[in-house]
Amino acid sequence: MEKIEKKIDLWLEDNYDLATKIEITRLQKDDPQQLSDAFYRNLEFGTGGLRGVMGVGTNRMNQYTVGAATQGLANYLIQQFDQEEIRVAIAYDSRNNSRFFADIAADVLSANGIQCFLFSALRSTPELSFTVRKYLCHSGIVITASHNPKEYNGYKVYWQDGGQLLPPHDKNVIKEVEKISKLNQVHRNRNSELVTMIGKETDEQYIENILELTLHPEALNAKNNISIVYSPLHGTGGVIIPDVLKRSGFHHVAVVEEQVEPDGNFPTTPYPNPEERSTLQLALEKADKINADIVMATDPDADRVGVAVRNNDGEMVLLNGNSVAALLTYYILSEKKRNHELTGNEFVVKTIVTTELISDIALDFNVGCEDVLTGFKYIAGKIAEYEGKKQFLCGGEESYGFLIGDSVRDKDANVTCCLFAEMTAMLRTEGKTVVDLLHQLYRDYGYYYEEQVSITKKGASGAVEIRKMMQTFRENPPKMIASSQVTKFLDYKQQICIDTIADKTIKISLPSSDVLQFYTEDGTIITVRPSGTEPKIKFYFSVKEKVKGSETIEEVERLLKTRTEKYIDHLLTSK
């Protein structure tokens, strides 16, 4: 509390704007708990960078935390590239204050003698990654809180490879930010000569790159037979996706009119997360009205996409991120094989909480499959590691993110929408649906059933609760979970794997991270980790069963769902 009070006093005494000081004074009187939450820590870079609720305080997104973060980044860039003309690209999404924060970033960077390429209007996160590489930038910034509620905003930082900051750069930037204790350490006088506005010319290069990644550009008749409903959910996806779908050959694309206009209040959905069925409700209604084949909706910064397809009973069914990633991986690999483009030197990447179905598919095609920690920055890191040595084909994660090709180094809903639509069209030429292909994968490789449970714990007290839960699981790992013996216990923070059957401990090669995994004797994998971007602790459950000849997919699904419910009930109610 003493540290919190010192921070508050500093904000009241230093040259902060009057509105900020009035708000702090109001919170001192009306809501001291909220004020404490606003100052109890500094925002940190997690798996998605800087992200938090907008408002006053060191633990909030505001002009001062954004300014300090940018000054810290500028200081680090100058240290790293002292003799070079440093270049940084800046983009922003439709969230409230996104343009304001992007301008602050440009102010600070240019005031420090750094050349800025600032988008003149909102653009997606993947286009920012593309721009960093295309303009040979040393870094990039995108202002977004991805799929978080409207109260949030965020600040993602990219390195010169186009991927998000990885160690040691992420921690080193934080160290530079932490050195900034006074307002006068942040330079805010923009040097307009160092700020170049960019827009449509960059869009065109990005779109051309997407079109080059399609596997069947010539299949115009097949594509013209597919009907699509698309929603940008009031975000950046509307800038690129309808146009790129049309130019790829899809002429029956209906956009959800109520969700076209960029709006940081997200008036038609309380939570702009395409993982949620309620978020896609307007798009699903439109799809039934026009009998569309596919629904696709992207989050505000267009790096994630939610997908629904029509099943064989004519109903629209939602696909989770694992299913989309597995389907696209299979499609890409099978088409590459058909065209004799697989040499044995290719690889795909997934995170440790993403379906093992991808690993099975890759093995079947003699393609390498690399596991990385949660966060797409680690997928980008693996691409960089193998650059010039192996060919990256695609990568995905369970949280609705996917990437094809290496021109972008973050998940890319723009290209994912295009390729998913193409896959649907090509399946139609074979008399199949997306659901048919998914069921085929289950029969060929086994039915993987995945479920995620998140527990929200807000504020300083919530952070303590999450740490205690992780500590309990780490220090007293369960030997049995729902009558199934734990055969392996992985502690990624300590970088060890304990094999309880062989009674031995081996080293984990992945970087240290606050993640725990439990493997059980029936093949189930359970992962526990605190979220890097939200006040949550997340539990991932993955169960598998072979589909026997006479069994239906629905029968196996019911079996796996029941098994998962037992695991969830045992693990969550015991802690």
Which positions are catalytic? 146
Give the pairing type, strands 316-319 and 346-351. unpaired
Amino acid identity at 177 = V
Considering all CA atoms of the chain, what is the largest pairwise distance in Å, rounded to the nearest integer? 75
DSSP codes, 453-479: EEEE--HHHHHHHHHHHHHHHHHS--S
Closest CA to 40 of 22, 68, 60, 16: 60
535 Cβ partners below 8 Å, 6+ apart? 456, 457, 458, 459, 462, 463, 466
481 Cβ partners below 8 Å, 6+ apart? 518, 520, 524, 526, 567, 570, 571
In this structure, the number of other CB atoms found within 10 A of the CB of residue 562 comes to 10
| Buried/exposed code over 445-473 (b: 16+ C-beta within 10 A; e: otherwise) | bbbbbbbbeeeebebbebbebbeebbeeb
Q: Is 77 helix (H, G, I), strand (E, B) or coil?
A: helix
11 Cβ partners below 8 Å, 6+ apart? 20, 21, 24, 39, 56, 57
How far is residue 486's CA from residue 558's CA, in Å, rounded to a whole number? Answer: 23
Q: Which residues pair with 50 in a beta bridge?
A: 155
Q: Which residues pair with 516 in a beta bridge?
A: 491, 528
Find the angle CA(205)-CA(239)-CA(193) to the nearest 5 degrees: 65
In this structure, the number of other CB atoms found within 10 A of the CB of residue 18 comes to 7
- Asked if residues 253 and 283 have their Cβ atoms less than 8 Å apart, the reply is no
How far is residue 241's CA from residue 283's CA, in Å, rounded to a whole number? Answer: 15
Q: Which residues pair with 154 in a beta bridge?
A: 51
Tokens found for residue 187: 């330079």
Q: Residue 368: in which H helix or E strand, if any?
A: strand 368-372
Tally of residues, the chain: 575
DSSP codes, 377-414: HHHHHHHHHHTTTSEEEEEEETTTEEEESSSS-S--HH
Q: At what angle do helices 63-80 and 98-111 cross, to 10 degrees?
A: 40
**Chain CA centroid to CA 125, Å:** 10
412 Cβ partners below 8 Å, 6+ apart? 126, 129, 303, 402, 403, 404
